[in-house]
Amino acid sequence: MHDIAIQLKEVHKYYGKVHALRGLNLEVKQGEIFGFLGPNGAGKTTTIRCMLDLIRPNQGTIQVFGINPQENPQAVKDQVGYLPGDLQLDGDFTPRRLMRFIRQLRHNNRSLEEMNTYAKRLDLPMDQKIKTLSQGNKQKVGLLLAFLSKVPLLMLDEPTLGLDPLMQQEVLNMVREQARNGATVFFSSHILSEVQKIADRVGIIRKGSLVEIAQTQDLISKAITRANVLFSEAVPENSFNDLPNVKLLRVNNDSQLYNFEISGELDLFIKTVAKFQVRDMAIHRPSLEEVFLKYYKEENEEA
């Protein structure tokens, strides 16, 4: 258990008649970057709040570094740098003044020099009142506070919300650095491309239930790959009949263009194609976004 940072077992949460979490089971390993995917209302924020004892589940158990947050919430919070999704800040503070105030409440803080470096990387105006800042700059204040202490766990709820693409990349770089230094990162997002770039593993939540959890690349490899192959001459269509997980969709007899769908590994398909003279070939590997949308398409079809 010592290598598990977060563990949830059969966690249920109700908001009145709304069943927000439906028997959630989840383990996050120490030192990994875990991406928690789902649209608004899927249960991402509720899960994080339960982990921090900001709200309490109706059923099930939660442990963060072996500590039950309901029994010892302060011990859990002392180990977490948290960015909430609904960030609320005192508008009369400046970022610098707020940072210094929060430093008095936390332990194991980074030096002011380190924090000033982070502020520069975020291009955050430190001496302007928060109420005058743009939404993106307010988000940067929240990020700065999440990085304030040297903690073993970062919980970031939609960390790049409201940031421009260049700043999104800088934030992802900062997250990677924390993981390289041994921190565990649990972050929720609906921006799938950023999850694909940095997450070691991904969990997909749908209507309060975890529908898939896997290594990011493994999850992508399970999805359908599309291949367009242009042969120099006609190829018998039955040449691909015996290939497992390969489906011939369409043949353009005029140009000898063949369209395929492949599930899983490409090795056997490539070896079969190589038996014939190929003029051109294009392979489209699925993105995490396509995998994600596949699960929600299935949900809509079920409905």
Residues 220-264: tens digit of each pLDDT = 666 678 899 999 988 887 889 889 889 888 888 778 899 998 887
pLDDT at 275: 93
Q: Return the pLDDT at 221.
A: 65
| Pair 229, 211 in one domain | no
Is the predicted pLDDT of residue 107 greater than 90, yes or no?
no
Read off the CATH number of the domain in which 275 is found. Answer: 3.30.70.100
Q: Establish if 277 belongs to a structural domain.
A: yes
Task: For residues 211 and 230, state if they share a domain.
Answer: no
Q: What is the pLDDT of residue 297?
A: 63
Question: In terms of residue numbers, what domain contains 150?
Answer: 4-216
The answer, yes or no, to whether residue 207 has pLDDT greater than 90, is: no
pTM: 0.78
Write the CATH number for 87: 3.40.50.300
Domain co-membership, 11 together with 145:
yes
Regarding whether 270 and 164 lie in a shared domain, the answer is: no
Q: What is the model's pLDDT at position 212?
A: 83
| Residues paired with 246 in a beta bridge | 262
Residues 117 and 194 in one domain: yes
Residue 23 lies in a domain: yes
High-pLDDT (> 90) share of the chain, %:
65
* pLDDT tens for each residue of 135-144: 999 999 999 9
Mean pLDDT of the chain, nearest integer: 89
Total tally of structural domains belonging to the chain: 2
Check whether residue 208 and residue 86 sit in a common domain. yes
What span, in angstroms and rounded, lies between the C-alpha atoms of 263 and 269? 10
